[in-house]
Homo-oligomer: A and B are copies of this chain.
């Protein structure tokens, strides 16, 4: 009657996250940065936080649909992970440093491309990465039946027979190691992994092109190119 331990833990975690949402904003406000810099940051900071919550809701809707369309998955990846992890923080920093509109737009495109590559790489590692490389259980995204870009791409590219097998795995509650291994093999057989790798390479190349023409000094250019390149590394 006093509720389950799991529910208690979830409720406590939500409250802790509320505190962190409050504290993050408070820390930026009390950072000691000039009022002028902060005023450049706030609209972008607010947009980022709103975008994250809306993206998370879209993710929730996608998950409820079983296997959503690849476009829907990529859209969520862009709004939720990519923008939050790379694009918006980059834009916020650049705006606070007084970059002009041209540079901001360019960094925005760079950040969007790198953010998407980062998310796609994360989706591959979530299925094929080793626990030692990712720090998460191997095949974790499959165990949790997460409809990531890789899963959606595999369903999209599979023929009818393989798609039937993929759907059955997606709808099976508890999967043992053999079932997870079979699922991974089926995904590779559809060509989805190769396709996602090509998408990553494409995003990283776009990001590098943006930086190549940018009116940014040499060390910063090198750091940004380096950051993009990290997404290409196939840790396994």
Contact = CB atoms under 8 A, between A and B. Distances in A.
A15 B46 contact: no
A63 to B, nearest CB: 7
Given A2-B63, A2-B64, A173-B1, A53 B19 contact: yes
A118 to B, nearest CB: 23
A34 interface: no
Q: Is the interface of A mostly helix, strand, loop or mixed?
A: helix
A26 B50 CA distance: 11
Interface residues of A, number: 35
Interface in A1-34: 1-3, 8, 11-12, 14-16, 18-19, 21-23, 25-26, 29
Interface in A44-63: 46, 49-50, 53-54, 56-57, 60, 63
A46 B63 contact: no
B15 A57 contact: yes
A25 to B, nearest CB: 6
> Assembly of this chain: how many copies?
2
A50 B63 contact: no
A45 to B, nearest CB: 9
A12 B3 CA distance: 21
Contacts of A65: 2
A49 to B, nearest CB: 5
A145 interface: yes
Given A22-B46, A22-B53, A25-B25, 12 more contacts: A1-B171, A1-B173, A2-B63, A2-B66, A3-B63, A3-B64, A8-B60, A11-B60, A12-B57, A15-B57, A19-B50, A19-B54
Interface of A: 1-3, 8, 11-12, 14-16, 18-19, 21-23, 25-26, 29, 35, 42, 46, 49-50, 53-54, 56-57, 60, 63-66, 145, 170-171, 173
Q: 9 tightest A-B contacts by CB?
A: A22-B49, A19-B53, A18-B53, A15-B57, A26-B46, A15-B53, A2-B64, A11-B60, A15-B56
